[in-house]
Structure 1
Amino acid sequence: MDRKIDVKDISDKVKPGRKTHKASVDRFDPSSTIYVRSVKGVYQRLRKFMGWFLLLLFIVLPLIPWDGHQAILFDIENNRYHIFNLTIFPQDLTLLAWIFIIAAFGLFFFTTYLGRVWCGYTCPQTVWTFIFIWFEELFEGKANKRRKLDESPWNGNKIWRKAAKHACWWLVALMTGLAFASYFVPVYELYTSFFTLSASFALTFWVLFFSTCTYINAGWMRAIVCTHMCPYARFQSAMFDKDTFIVGYDAKRGESRGPRSRKADPKELGLGDCIDCDLCVQVCPTGIDIRDGLQYECINCGACIDACDQTMERMGYEKGLIAYTTEHKLTGAKTDILRPKIIGYGVVLSLMCGLFVWNLLTIKAIGFEVLRDRNALYRETNEGLVENAYTFKIINKTMEEQEYNLSVTGLPEPVWSGPTAIRVAPGEVFTQPVSIAVDPYELDKSILTIQFTVQDTDSDEQIQQESRFFSGGR
């Protein structure tokens, strides 16, 4: 059977009237430096707003006092996690699993609909990279000046500019490391001990570790993380389809590209609207040419859109040569927004959010666990009663001392040995051994199912745990 596989020719070809531009660096080479040119526009203002908002939120949240503790504090040492009014203990960490599931499906939903907007506007790597680039421009100038400075020999001017830039990078990185640590260590304790050099080795290590990671990732690696390390760039194609909104170049309108004067009529020259200024490449943080089509390195930041719109405005052409669009729209077809994949992700995401809220609302302020004595199923007392021993583990999940009443049901006239009322400190895991004795002649089974109850005396909230009572068949 003669079956042929169609082969697409992807070799570079120069079309008549088209000027080709080669990138100044190889974006696939981790040692290459990409000098990102600054650009202003609608999407860059949105990106900067999102970046500064998320950065300030990241720094400020642990600083907010809330009901005697930080608004957000993951106290690993004491096994309690404060999120405003909510205090979560290890027994409730299923909430964390729900959060991860919701985040995953949220990422799938928005990626299918809007492409890699997470990468372009909210990813920490993107936010911190642009902050570091801002300091770079402040001390070393625009992209061309930075390139010339790097190529120039070392002298006093170059040394002070580089030193000032790296000092600011380290300052931002250190603030980032401290802000991250403040989610796990009380803020006052953290800053006081760190800056007085009295912090523990572990605390100092983790602050400096995250500071170093921030300095390396945002200062040196930058796009390398996006193109070589981030797994999201690799599996995003599984979520993309031809109706996904991406940053796209309208080749029908732009080709054939080429330079011309503002007064020239491109149709008379046989040219499209693209003047081949190469600005879309110069402003791209990952160094790609969006005119080559959809590429996994594109982070949907919209920098090339703003740069192209400015060029179109200067030339007197219609904006939108590069825009947020879909592959269907670029080919003249209709974009289908409400498609099965979007609806499916939306339904699952809504279901997961509902289950998370239900789980959150049903959390008990009391944690209760019953452990039977493993040394003996039962024993006989001097009075001839059958006795079973249990150990209660009671957790007070509130931030105030609580009093609880203990009781048992399912047994005829049980004799309780141990306290029936206890007081438990805030966040304490209280261990209480008790024993239950019953007259064996009152029992009709060798194994009975019983219920232990712990009840809060103030709120009347209660929680029950099932256990077994053994009598040995008597």
Structure 2
Amino acid sequence: MQQIPVHQHDPKQVDGKIYVRLTEGHFQQIRRVISGGLMLMFFLTAWINLDGQQIVLFDFSSRRLHLFGMLMSPKDIYLLAGFMIVGAILLFALASAYSRVWCGFACPQSIWTWVFIRIETITEGRRNNRIKDDTKGWNTAKLSRRIAKHSLWAAFATLTSMTFIGYFVPIREIANDIISLNLSLEMFSWILIFALLTYVNAGLVREKVCAHMCPYARFQSVMFDPDTRNISYDVERGEPRHKNRSSNDSGDCIDCKLCVHVCPTGIDIRQGLQSDCISCGACIDACDDVMTRMRRPTGLIRFISENQEQGKASPVLRPRIYAYIAAIVMISGYLIWAFVNKEALIIDVIRDRQTLFVTNGAGEVCNEYKLIVENVSIANNSFTLGLDSTLLRLEGKSQLNLQQGQRDELNYRVCAPVNADTSLLPRQINFTAANSAGQWQQLSSFIMPQQRR
């Protein structure tokens, strides 16, 4: 097989700033549809309310998560962990099938980087104009363009920061505080911190996050196999490169370097697969456009597997992918079942550990308890509290009204009758809460003094 000759990158693409050229094409349209949809979800979901409640809100102050009409408590955190596991398995499946398409099409870092590149192109011009501008000295026009670019970057970063924080603090409260100039120093600090992080990551650091900070670039090769589709340059067809198309011994590559100019990480895909490649498909679209204008077949750069390059059968769906799909289906099925059967009421029982038991004025032996009851159902409910044992007497509130998301702490005393046969008294007791929807219970212990023989 003919070896790819070693070509140096554009120096400005390696040692200095990467000047990315925007391009059009099939994969860029797909990327924009996906990234645009995800951005709309991010910015709009925080503003949607259901029954007066933000549909997605991680309320750490009250230890609750509002998720599309469902109220979740810290005890339901395993459900969120399950969805994260499903997402991780889906990421592995995508990597095994089409390498780093997640990074190129749906990763927030890539999405925000492309937005910042778009702003840069609008304010400072196309790639060649930006290169020329940076080689010249400062003037009024250049300064105004830079101010416009960084101002738009800062505004978009601030909007991103406010929206992100709005998933942890009600976003309408943040907006009202900003409008009324009543924003607290703490909230202002958080907005400033996340805005700066967005500004630096998407505007200044960009590709260095993907190349040096993201761990996915380091362990992606573990998930690759000979059937994994990677972005690859057709060496046999493209070499030798020659700008003069009249040459009879030249390949299809005219060394225009557009594949390098459109790459957001500044690599030359003609040098072979590299860890910095995020599989965004920009180089494919740029090369296909050149081939079309040169009246040559497209696909000089394309998604192709190692087996396909060798003329072997290379199915996308294969045992590894089927295993990933099976795992996703099974875990998702369990999570759906768990959500449907999620407890609507949570009862925590804390027995007084400082005093094992007390004796009241009637001579009864009693244990002290604190009950923490939280309603995590959608409807408002009234509950009857009690014990599952008829041999013990419960002192405390028997009726409890809790609205959705409300919790209450109650003190109770459980007493055993005077001269009761301790062999008949239960050592484990269940506190119960019941209404027309069902019954919930929580186990605790009951301690009696030892009888002397």
TM-score range, shorter-chain basis? over 0.9
Shift of residue 176, structure 1, vs aligned partner: 0.9
Distance in 2 between the 1:360 and 1:113 partners? 30
Distance in 1 between the 2:392 and 2:424 partners? 15
Provide the aligned C-alpha RMSD in A.
Answer: 2.1
Q: Which residue of 2 aligns with 1:414?
A: 392
Distance in 1 between the 2:180 and 2:151 partners? 21
The range that moved more, 161-170 or 387-396, is 387-396
**Identical aligned pairs, as a percentage?**
38
- CA displacement 1:400-429 (0-9 Å, x = unmatched): 6532111212x3432221222122344232
SS in 1 for 2:11: coil
Alignment partner of 2:410 out of 429, 432, 444: 432
Q: Relative to structure 1, is the Cα distance of residues 354 and 399 closer, same or farther in structure 2, using a 3 angstrom cutoff?
A: closer
Shift of residue 285, structure 1, vs aligned partner: 0.8
The correspondence of residues 334-345 of structure 1 with structure 2, limited to 5 A, is 334-345=313-324
Distance in 1 between the 2:424 and 2:347 partners? 27
Shift of residue 389, structure 1, vs aligned partner: 2.5
Alignment partner of 1:468 out of 433, 445, 450: 445
Alpha carbons 2:12, 2:19 under 8 Å: kept = no
Q: Relative to structure 1, is the Cα distance of residues 387 and 21 closer, same or farther in structure 2, using a 3 angstrom cutoff?
A: closer
SS in 1 for 2:12: coil
Shift of residue 249, structure 1, vs aligned partner: 1.2
Alpha carbons 1:412, 1:443 under 8 Å: kept = no
Q: Which residue of 2 aligns with 1:255?
A: 239
Alignment partner of 1:326 out of 305, 313, 332: 305
Shift of residue 384, structure 1, vs aligned partner: 4.1
| Match status 1:392 vs 2:379 | no
Q: Which residue of 1 aligns with 2:229?
A: 245
Q: Which residue of 1 aligns with 2:93?
A: 109
Alpha carbons 1:405, 1:454 under 8 Å: kept = yes
Q: Which residue of 2 aligns with 1:4?
A: none
Q: Which residue of 2 aligns with 1:120?
A: 104
Distance in 2 between the 1:349 and 1:399 partners? 28
- Kindly provide the amino acid, as one letter, of the partner of residue 177 in structure 1: S
Q: Which residue of 1 aligns with 2:81?
A: 97
Shift of residue 438, structure 1, vs aligned partner: 2.7
SS in 2 for 1:25: helix
Q: Which residue of 1 aligns with 2:343?
A: 364
Alpha carbons 2:395, 2:414 under 8 Å: kept = yes
TM-score by length of structure 1 reads 0.89
SS in 1 for 2:367: strand
- CA displacement 1:108-165 (0-9 Å, x = unmatched): 1111112111111111111111111112111211101100001111011111111111
Unmatched runs of 5 consecutive residues or more in structure 2:
none
Shift of residue 377, structure 1, vs aligned partner: 3.0
Q: Relative to structure 1, is the Cα distance of residues 174 and 381 closer, same or farther in structure 2, using a 3 angstrom cutoff?
A: closer
Shift of residue 177, structure 1, vs aligned partner: 1.2
- Kindly provide the amino acid, as one letter, of the partner of residue 133 in structure 1: I
TM-score by length of structure 2 reads 0.93
Alpha carbons 2:70, 2:378 under 8 Å: kept = no
Alignment partner of 2:9 out of 4, 22, 27: 22
Number of positions where the alignment pairs a residue of Structure 1 with one of Structure 2:
448
- Kindly provide the amino acid, as one letter, of the partner of residue 418 in structure 1: G
| Match status 1:148 vs 2:99 | no
Q: Which residue of 1 aligns with 2:251?
A: 272
Q: Which residue of 2 aligns with 1:7?
A: none
Distance in 1 between the 2:204 and 2:392 partners? 71
Shift of residue 387, structure 1, vs aligned partner: 2.5
Alpha carbons 2:431, 2:443 under 8 Å: kept = yes
